Homo-oligomer: A and B are copies of this chain.
Amino acid sequence: MERQRHQGMAKNTSMRWRLPLVCLLWELAMIVLFGVFVRFSPEADAHWEEERRELNLTSDIENDFYFRYPSFQDVHVMIFVGFGFLMTFLKRYGFGAVGFNFLLAAFGIQWALLMQGWFHSFKNGKILIGVENLINADFCVGSVCIAFGAILGKTSPIQLLVLTLFQVTLFSVNEYILLNLLHVKDAGGSMTIHTFGAYFGLTVTRILYRPNLEQSKDKQASVYHSDLFAMIGTLYLWMYWPSFNSAISDHGDAQHRAAINTYCSLAACVLSTMAFSSMLQKKGKLDMVHIQNATLAGGVAVGTSAEMMLTPYGSLIVGFLSGIVSTVGYVYLTPFLESRLHIQDTCGIHNLHAMPGLIGGIVGAITAAAATEDVYGKEGFIKAFDFTGVYRARTPSVQGGFQAAGIMVSLLMAFVGGALVGAILKLPVWGDAAAENCFEDDVYWEVPEDEESDAYHMHSPDKPASP
C-alpha cells in the first residue's frame, strides 16, 4: 500500500477524467458519424423482400446472413475471448488483459465499420453494412489486439484507445491498397492483419522502450491458474481459426476449402510446436508459453492461401514449418530482440504473428503464382482470383508478384505507421505507469483486497506470515 502511494506520486496514472473524456467524446463522435453515414445493407434492410425478388432468389436462406453468421460468431469469440484470455497468462494482469482488450475492440469495431465502410461499402453517400462488414471490422480489430500483445502491461487504457484509432485507420488504408489497388487476395489476413498488426505493434513497443523494465520482472510471469486461463484463449483461437480464414471467402467451395486447409495446418503445427518445445528445454519439459502461442502459427501462416488450392498436404507442410519457426523464435529470438534491439514484446507477437504472417504472405504468393486452370477448372480459376474486368488478363505469376508486393506494402505501412503512432504514445500525457508498476492490475483496476494480500504473501515467502 505504502509502495503504491509512493509510486502514485512519482507518476500520475489516474484515469479519472482523462479516460471518461476520451471514451465519451469518441463514442459521441461515432454516433454522429454513424448517423450521417451508416445504414443497413439491402440484405439487412426491411426492403429485402423486394430486393430478393429482384435478385431472383427463391429463398430467405440465400441471404448472406446464413452463409456467414456462424463464422462471424466464431471470429467474434476469437477477438474477445481468444485474444482476451490468451493474454491473461500474466499473474497480476488478467483484468487488464481481458478488460482493455474488451475496451479497445469495442471501440475499434465501430471505427473500423466506418473506415472500411468508406473504402468498400460506400454507395450514394451512405455506408451500407451487413454481416460481412461485421466480420471485417472484427478482423481489423484483430490486428490491434495483436499489437496490444507487444505492449501488454506497459500502457494506459487511453494509450490503447489512441493506438486503436490510428491503427484502424492505417489498417484500412493498407487493406485498401492491397485489396483494391494491387488486387491481392488475403481472405485470412496473413498480410493485412498479422504482418501489418505485428510489425506495427513491434515498432510501437520499440519506440516506447522502457530501460528499467526489469524492475517489474517478477510480475512478468505466469502462475499456475493464469496459464490455464490463457489456454482458454489459445484453444478458442485454435478451434475457430478455420472460421477466421474462411469467413469472408466466396460462397461455396472457397469457404469450404479454406476451413479444411486451416484445420490441417493447425493440426500439424501442434506437433512441431510440442516437438521443439521439448527439444529446446534442457530436461525436455514442455513450456506453456509455446503451447499457448506457437500452436496457433499454423493458422496465421495459411491466412492468405487457405482459400486457394493449397491442398491438405500443402497445409500440413506450412503448419509444420510455422510451428517450428514460432517455437524457435520464442526460445532464441525474443531474448535477442529485447537485449539487442530493445524490442520488449510481452506476448511474443513476433513469433506468433510477425514471422508466421510473413510466411503466410509468401506461401500465398507462391500458391497464387502456381495456380493453373487445370487445378482450379476454368471457371474456378477466374472466380478464385477474381480475374474479371480490368484484371481479366492477369496471369498467375503476375498475381504472385502483386501478392509479394502486398507483403512489402504492409511492412512499410507497419514501420512508418508504428513509428508515428509510437511517437504520439510517448507523449507524457497518457497516464502510463512507471516501470516498477508495469504488469500490475492495481494501477488501473480496483483489485479485490484479500487475494492481493495473498499475492503479496506469495511473492515474498521470506516474509513471516505472522509477526
Establish whether residues B98 and A235, one from each chain, have CB atoms under 8 Å apart when the complex forms. yes
In this complex, the member of A52, A113, A235 whose beta carbon has the largest number of chain B beta carbons within 10 angstroms is A235
Contact B268 A27 (CB under 8 A): yes
Within 8 A of B (CB), among A53-112: 58-67, 69-71, 73-74, 76-77, 80-81, 84-85, 88, 91-92, 94-95, 98-99, 102-103, 106-107, 109-110
Given A64-B256, A69-B70, A134-B259, 5 further pairs, Cβ under 8 A: A23-B272, A98-B228, A98-B235, A450-B458, A453-B458
Q: Is A227 an interface residue (CB 8 A)?
A: yes
Residues of B within 8 A of A263 (CB): 109, 134
The answer to the question of A452 belonging to the interface, with a C-beta cut-off of 8 Å to chain B, is yes
Total copies of the chain: 3
* Cβ of A298 to closest chain B Cβ, rounded Å: 10
Question: Would you list which residues of chain A between 355 and 392 have a CB under 8 Å from chain B?
Answer: 375-377, 379-381, 383-384
Task: Determine whether A179 belongs to the interface, using a CB cutoff of 8 Å to chain B.
Answer: no
Complex CA gap A214/B76 in Å reads 40
Could you tell me the distance in whole angstroms from the C-beta of A54 to the nearest C-beta in chain B?
A: 12
Would B23 and A275 count as touching, CB distance under 8 A? yes
> In whole angstroms, what is the CA distance A99 to B236 when docked?
14
Closest chain B residue, CB of each to CB of A319: B27
Counting from the closest, the 9 A-B pairs by CB-CB distance are A16-B284, A46-B380, A48-B253, A106-B270, A60-B252, A23-B275, A34-B313, A464-B466, A60-B251
Interface residues of A in 424-467 (CB under 8 A from B): 444-455, 457-459, 461-466
Q: A253 to B51: give the CA distance in the assembly, Å.
A: 10
Closest residue on chain B to residue A34 by CB atoms: B313
Q: Is the CB of A235 within 8 A of B446?
A: no
Per-residue contact bits, chain A 233-274, to B (CB 8 Å; 1 contact, 0 not): 001101110110000000111111101100110111111101
Question: With a CB–CB cut-off of 8 A, which chain B residues contact A232?
Answer: 81, 85, 232
Provide 26 A-B residue pairs closer than 8 Å at the C-beta atoms, listed in order of the A residue. A16-B279, A20-B279, A23-B278, A27-B272, A27-B320, A40-B312, A49-B380, A50-B379, A59-B62, A61-B62, A73-B74, A81-B236, A88-B228, A91-B448, A99-B286, A102-B235, A103-B274, A106-B270, A131-B259, A221-B448, A223-B451, A285-B446, A286-B444, A287-B446, A288-B445, A450-B461
